[in-house]
Amino acid sequence: MDSVHGEYKIPGGKLVVADVEVEGAGADAALSGVVISGDFFLEPSDALLAINATLIGLPTTTSVADMAADVARAAGPDAQFVGFSPEAVAIAVRRALGHATSWQDHTFELIHDVPREPHLQMALDDVIAQGVGAGERGPALRIWEWERNTVVIGSFQSVRNEIDAEGAAAHDITVTRRVSGGGAMFIQPGNTITYSLYVPISLVEGLSFEQSYAFLDDWVLGALQELGIQATYVPLNDIASPAGKIAGAAQKRYTSGAVLHHVTMAYNIDADAMLQVLRIGREKLSDKGTKSANKRVDPLRSQTGMTREAIIESFLAYFASRYTTVAGAVSDSEVDRAQRLVTERFATPEWINAVP
């Protein structure tokens, strides 16, 4: 009989711990003993005994969805899960069984990359994520640097609906399309902070897209709070403070077994230039009855008083304080593969105008 241990903490919630015993092997392996514990709240309290009992006998291959449904049924329709959920119990059990992993199960490369042209940035995101999925490299956090003014549109956005061609030309904007969905990102070198997380799918095992956004953004909320910004996650994909929006995230899950999660944060953006380039931005301001933009959109600069470089250093140090990390870099072979993808895909009119 093997005993295993797993933990899962809901972002902004409580810790769930699963101590599990397993009998049998292969297809016959099943849970023979389960103790769920943690700093959560559950009413009625004896629902926990029912949850432990219902998990015994389940095959070790039971999915998060099926296990969570069993937990909810065992607790009963009137049970109140405070600070956790049936899904959190299931994820903790799956982690104990090795089907799901935690941050502590991985060593992350920390990469502060050199400036690169926009289409190459899109291709590198794809190449690095695919490398993680194929087991060719470990997970990583990459801080980007931009080589020129750029608008990055989401995978499903229309070029003509998002971009004012005259405004883009006036501000020397390169338009590129990323592999993930979401909205347009207006980039000026030195005025934004962009990063990507490349992680195995096991890290978000059992999490919905919305849950995984909060889970993968949790570290940067802590990093921002250390800088004095009371940042919060705003579903589906925003990070905000009481002073307003700070950042937007986008995500893609690969069938190869990787997740690409990337975020762009506003350090000090020229809002007037942005609204001359982005059509949708004008509509949003119009809906709010605003006739003109402030000269700058600068939540990170104004709320911290720090240089962009100092904020990035603080982010990297905070990530390293929470997780196991090593210094990393984009390899020459990854750049070579990305350059080929630029030619074959990311710089082609067919890709950029995939949604005209």
pLDDT digits (tens, 9 = 90+) for 107-160: 999 999 999 999 999 999 999 999 999 999 999 999 999 999 999 999 999 999
* Percent of the residues in the chain that have a pLDDT greater than 90, as a whole number: 90
Instruction: Give me the pLDDT at residue 293, please.
Output: 47
Instruction: Give me the pLDDT at residue 65, please.
Output: 93
The per-residue pLDDT of the chain, averaged, comes to: 94
Among the ranges given (139-148, 235-244, 301-310, 324-333), the one the predictor scored with the smallest mean pLDDT: 235-244
* Residue ranges of the chain assigned to CATH 3.30.930.10: 104-352
* Residue ranges of the chain assigned to CATH 3.30.390.50: 2-96
Which CATH number is 2-96 given? Answer: 3.30.390.50
d(CA 273, CA 194): 19
Residue 287 has pLDDT above 50, yes or no: no
Read off the pLDDT of residues 9-57 as tens digits, 9 standing for 90 and up. Answer: 999 899 999 999 999 999 899 999 999 999 999 999 999 999 999 999 9
Read off the pLDDT of residues 43-92 as tens digits, 9 standing for 90 and up. Answer: 999 999 999 999 999 999 999 999 999 999 999 999 999 999 999 999 99
- Residue 281's pLDDT band, with cuts at 50, 70 and 90, is low
Q: Which residue from 146, 161, 158, 111 is spatially nearest to 132, judged by alpha carbons?
A: 111
Considering the domain 104-352, what is its CATH architecture? 2-Layer Sandwich (3.30)
Residue 341 has pLDDT above 60, yes or no: yes
Phi, psi of 334 (to 5 degrees): -65, -40
Read off the pLDDT of residues 230-263 as tens digits, 9 standing for 90 and up. Answer: 999 999 899 999 999 999 999 999 999 999 999 9
Instruction: Give me the pLDDT at residue 284, please.
Output: 53
One-character DSSP codes across 40-83? -EEESTTHHHHHHHHHTT-BTT--HHHHHHHHHHHH-TT-EEES
